[in-house]
């Protein structure tokens, strides 16, 4: 049952992250986002200046991904990447967590990684992709707590480029872990209105999808 308090289009990050995306594709996504009043358009860093210009004055935010899709780059490079996209117009940054560090139990390294990117974001909102498909439930909860401790604004399920995407169970676990302190973004494999509503019912406050038009059309 659809929530009467949430306009579905207003919580969607209209996402185009495929490596072969061309300018015409990115510009089409921007036009779609303006027409549908999606929350943001989410792109790889190279497209941030294009998207920021195309969305100027529309009320649709520009979002970019950092350390994507593996998260396995040095913290200094993640921070530099975040600073670059913000300087070129990104309002929001979705970073991939240090998955290997988390699984090694190196919590200080994971926390510091997120904190450095948060500092580089300035006033831009930071979402932390924990890549749930690679973690057990205890690791998912730990990742959420570390992200919160480091100052993140959101935790996010997935890149959509690994072995699995968002599940309602993972969203519910993440929401239970962070409570009302952080947002929860569900992304990866959300292709229908029913999928999106299931994620919202489980506790998501944002949806990342490339099939956004199909989702809002039902």
Residues serving a catalytic function are 94, 156, 185
Cα(65)–Cα(81) distance, integer angstroms: 9
Instruction: Return the H-helix or E-strand segment holding 93.
Output: strand 92-96
Unique residue bearing structure tokens 């500092």 = 119
Q: Quote the tokens at residue 62.
A: 């520009």
Under a CB-based contact definition with an 8 Å cutoff, are residues 144 and 174 in contact? Answer: yes
| Integer-rounded Cα radius of gyration of the chain | 16
Q: Quote the tokens at residue 9.
A: 């289009």
Cα(109)–Cα(43) distance, integer angstroms: 27
* Of 202, 193, 152, 207, the residue nearest 173 (C-alpha): 202
| Residues paired with residue 215 on neighbouring β-strands, in sequence order | none
Q: Which string of b and e fits 15-49 if b means at least 16 CB within 10 Å? A: bbbeeebeeeebeebbebbbebebbbbbbbbebbe
DSSP 88: T
């Amino acid at each position: 049952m659809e929530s009467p308090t949430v306009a579905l289009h207003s919580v969607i990050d209209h996402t185009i992250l495929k490596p072969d995306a061309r300018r015409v594709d990115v510009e089409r996504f921007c036009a779609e986002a303006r027409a549908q009043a999606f929350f943001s358009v989410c792109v790889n860093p190279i497209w941030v200046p294009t998207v920021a210009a195309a969305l100027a004055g529309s009320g649709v935010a520009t979002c970019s991904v950092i350390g994507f899709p593996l998260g396995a780059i040095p913290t200094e490079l993640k921070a530099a990447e975040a600073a670059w996209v913000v300087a070129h117009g990104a309002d929001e940054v979705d970073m991939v967590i240090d998955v290997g560090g988390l699984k090694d139990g190196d919590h200080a390294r994971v926390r510091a990684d997120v904190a450095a990117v948060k500092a580089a974001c300035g006033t831009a909102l930071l979402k932390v992709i924990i890549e749930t498909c690679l973690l057990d439930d205890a690791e998912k909860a730990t990742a959420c707590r570390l992200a919160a401790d480091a100052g993140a604004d959101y935790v996010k399920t997935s890149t959509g480029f690994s072995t699995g995407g968002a599940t309602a169970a993972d969203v519910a676990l993440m929401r239970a872990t962070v409570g009302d302190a952080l947002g929860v973004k569900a992304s990866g494999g959300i292709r229908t209105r029913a999928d999106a509503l299931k994620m919202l019912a489980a506790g998501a406050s944002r949806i990342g999808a490339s099939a956004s038009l199909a989702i809002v059309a039902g």
